[in-house]
Amino acid sequence: MPCVNPNYSKLQAGYLFPEIARRTAAFLKENPGAEIIRMGIGDVVLPLPQAVCEAMKKAVEEMGTPEGFRGYGPEQGYGFLREAIAAEFALRGAEIDPSEIFVSDGSKCDTGNFQELFGADAKIAVTDPVYPVYVDTNVMAGRTGEANGVAYEGLVYLPTTAENGFAPELPKERVDVVYLCSPNNPTGAVMTRAQLKTWVDWAAENDATILFDAAYEAFIRDPEIPHSIFEIEGARKVAVEFRSFSKHAGFTGVRCGYVVVPKESPFHAMWNRRHCTKFNGVSYPVQRGAEAVFSPEGRRQCMANIDYYMENARLVRETLSGLGVKAHGGENGPYVWMETPGREPSWNFFDRLLREANVVGTPGAGFGACGEGYFRLSAFALRENVERALERVKRVL
Ligand SMILES: *Cc1c(COP(=O)(O)O)cnc(C)c1O
């Protein structure tokens, strides 16, 4: 037997999405020809913005010429992209220097990797329900004990449910790191300026670090809601922010994201060291494509796609509400977080929706114990599929 990392055996069977895929495949095997509508995984469906395609094509052509060829680029990303990103923050009053931006191949890796910078006994807090990457990567690193049921020993869980308006309370015990995600996956909830300020002040007083996941900031509609934690005074010392082009610009298959680690953060130099040691940069054509997201056409085209998804979210939310279902989220983010009928166990509801409506969603329990009794429907789907799915869902509710 090779000497393996024992922490992997603590991981709970199957990451959520493989289990959904397994149940869906089993159903299709028994019911060949059933026409499934997928509103489960949060993956975009609309084609890339034309401005992005044009920029990538041009960059590929450049690479094929003696003058335009480039080998390894800077690990942290090209200056043109880091400057375009910094300018975007400035528009919202957050002063970020390009040198504080680290371009990567996406936020799953970044949010998963950042924990390497914390000590082995750092106390970690997550909201419940939560994006599973934050939890599983800390389990792999050995920062938790065994799982009892759905919760890992040693992790601090901060419930976010309808009862507290999906706003996590400050931890009652000593915590070194907290992961916050706004707009939230899976609940669709957003954090207000006042709520974020409370967290920043708490972190400053307690020498804690906030890992802020803003993968869905481009979906915010309410002008009062901050897009970045760096819009909050004091955040530069205590927070790190993760952003991605995946949902913003349809880059789930292109791969590009970035981390903002301000100079005042004790993690700035460490992240730079880590990034340069373990990462060799995002490809030049992809960075040119990402830069085009901030061009006037790129902005318009991305916003048109986001508007389309948000109209889906509105349809889902309003149809469900009209049926007497309590549907949360969907106003500043692409997920609707519905309460299952009579708080039916979420995997039950998943199976019933699959069998009776041939619609696939995501059971809330897969995101944590407090997700039980909830179900996530994603707005990342074609309109006709959303409409057909809603017709079918009506029959099941
Ligand atoms: C989709 C998503 C991301 C982005 O992942 P990428 O690796 O950049 O595609 C990050 N955080 C959350 C919560 C997400 O849902």
Residue 232 lies in a domain: yes
**What is the rounded average pLDDT of the residues 133-149?**
95
350 shares a domain with 286: no
| 17/23 Cα distance (integer angstroms) | 10
| 226-251 tens-digit pLDDT | 999 999 999 999 999 999 999 999 99
Atom of ligand 1 nearest to the CA of 184: 13
Residue 26 lies in a domain: yes
257 lines ligand 1 (CB under 6 A): yes
**What is the rounded average pLDDT of the residues 298-310?**
98
- The predicted pLDDT at position 1 comes to 87
- Hey, what are 228's tokens? 């970045």
Residue 95 lies in a domain: yes
| 68-77 tens-digit pLDDT | 999 999 999 9
The best mutation among 43, 44, 103, 107 to test binding of ligand 1, ranked by most ligand atoms within 8 Å of the C-beta, falls on 107
236 shares a domain with 129: yes
Atom of ligand 1 nearest to the CA of 107: 8
Q: Whose Cα sits closest to atom 15 in ligand 1?
A: 185
Q: Whose Cα sits closest to atom 12 in ligand 1?
A: 215
- The residue assigned the tokens 């009209």 is 322
| 89/99 Cα distance (integer angstroms) | 13
- Cβ neighbors of 164 (< 8 A, separation 6 or more) are none
User: Is residue 355 helix, strand or coil?
Assistant: helix
Atom of ligand 1 nearest to the CA of 108: 7
140 shares a domain with 286: yes
Atom of ligand 1 nearest to the CA of 244: 8
- Hey, what are 38's tokens? 């997928």
Query: Containing H/E element for 159?
Result: strand 156-159
Query: Containing H/E element for 316?
Result: helix 296-322
Tell which of 295, 325, 352 closes a domain: 295
Domain of 290? 52-295
- The residue assigned the tokens 């017709």 is 391
- The predicted pLDDT at position 396 comes to 87
- The predicted pLDDT at position 380 comes to 97
185 lines ligand 1 (CB under 6 A): yes
**What is the rounded average pLDDT of the residues 381-395?**
96
| 138/79 Cα distance (integer angstroms) | 32
Tell which of 295, 325, 355 closes a domain: 295
- The predicted pLDDT at position 12 comes to 82
CA distances from 219 to 168, 305, 373 (A): 21, 10, 26
- The predicted pLDDT at position 312 comes to 98
Atom of ligand 1 nearest to the CA of 251: 9
What does the buried/exposed string (b/e) look like for 105-128 if buried means 16 or more CB atoms within 10 Å of the residue's CB? bbbbbbbbbbbebbeeebbbbbbb
| 281-293 tens-digit pLDDT | 999 999 999 999 9
Query: What is the percent of the chain with per-residue pLDDT over 70, rounded to a whole number?
Result: 99
| 22/18 Cα distance (integer angstroms) | 6
335 shares a domain with 365: yes
157 lines ligand 1 (CB under 6 A): no
| 128/159 Cα distance (integer angstroms) | 5
Atom of ligand 1 nearest to the CA of 109: 7
Residue 293: closest CA among 256, 333, 330, 338: 256
**What is the rounded average pLDDT of the residues 157-163?**
98
213 lines ligand 1 (CB under 6 A): yes
179 shares a domain with 214: yes
Residue 1 lies in a domain: no
**pLDDT above 80: residue 13:** no
**pLDDT above 90: residue 395:** no
Tell which of 262, 295, 328 closes a domain: 295
Cβ atoms of 265 and 240 closer than 8 Å: yes
| 3/321 Cα distance (integer angstroms) | 53
104 lines ligand 1 (CB under 6 A): no
Q: How far is the CA of 324 from the centre of ligand 1 (A)?
A: 31
DSSP symbol at 12: P
**What is the rounded average pLDDT of the residues 111-122?**
98
The best mutation among 17, 103, 104, 108 to test binding of ligand 1, ranked by most ligand atoms within 8 Å of the C-beta, falls on 108
Q: How far is the CA of 31 from the centre of ligand 1 (A)?
A: 33
- The predicted pLDDT at position 369 comes to 94
Kindly report the CATH number assigned to the domain that includes residue 382: 3.90.1150.10
| 384/397 Cα distance (integer angstroms) | 20
Residue 72 lies in a domain: yes
235 shares a domain with 87: yes
Q: How far is the CA of 257 from the centre of ligand 1 (A)?
A: 9
Number of domains in the chain: 2
Residue 337: closest CA among 387, 379, 307, 305: 379
Residue 163 lies in a domain: yes
User: Is residue 185 helix, strand or coil?
Assistant: coil
What region does 142 belong to: left with phi over 0, alpha with psi -120 to 50, or beta?
left
The best mutation among 43, 44, 105, 185 to test binding of ligand 1, ranked by most ligand atoms within 8 Å of the C-beta, falls on 185
108 shares a domain with 67: yes
- The predicted pLDDT at position 148 comes to 86
Sign for the pseudo-dihedral over CA of 47, 256, 254, 187: negative
Residue 313: closest CA among 200, 211, 216, 170: 216
Cβ atoms of 102 and 259 closer than 8 Å: yes
**What is the rounded average pLDDT of the residues 143-162?**
94
Residue 360: closest CA among 13, 19, 29, 14: 19
Residue 2 lies in a domain: no
Q: How far is the CA of 165 from the centre of ligand 1 (A)?
A: 23
- The predicted pLDDT at position 397 comes to 85
Residue 192 lies in a domain: yes
**What is the rounded average pLDDT of the residues 30-59?**
95
User: Is residue 359 helix, strand or coil?
Assistant: strand
| 193/86 Cα distance (integer angstroms) | 21
| 69/189 Cα distance (integer angstroms) | 45
Q: How far is the CA of 280 from the centre of ligand 1 (A)?
A: 20
Q: How far is the CA of 205 from the centre of ligand 1 (A)?
A: 29
234 shares a domain with 129: yes
Q: For all residues of the chain together, what is the average pLDDT?
A: 97
Question: What are the counts of helices (DSSP H) followed by strands (DSSP E) for the chain?
Answer: 13, 15
Identify which has the larger pLDDT, 42 or 388. 388
57 shares a domain with 23: no
Residue 355: closest CA among 14, 18, 30: 30
108 lines ligand 1 (CB under 6 A): yes
68 shares a domain with 13: no
151 shares a domain with 18: no
pLDDT band at 18 (very low <50, low <70, confident <90, very high): confident
- The predicted pLDDT at position 14 comes to 62
Q: How far is the CA of 33 from the centre of ligand 1 (A)?
A: 32
251 shares a domain with 128: yes
246 lines ligand 1 (CB under 6 A): yes
Q: How far is the CA of 108 from the centre of ligand 1 (A)?
A: 5
**What is the rounded average pLDDT of the residues 203-225?**
98
The secondary structure of 50-75 as a DSSP string is HHHHHHHHHHHHHHTSTTT---S--T
195 lines ligand 1 (CB under 6 A): no
244 lines ligand 1 (CB under 6 A): yes
**pLDDT above 70: residue 41:** yes
Residue 187: closest CA among 304, 334, 388: 334
Kindly report the CATH number assigned to the domain that includes residue 101: 3.40.640.10
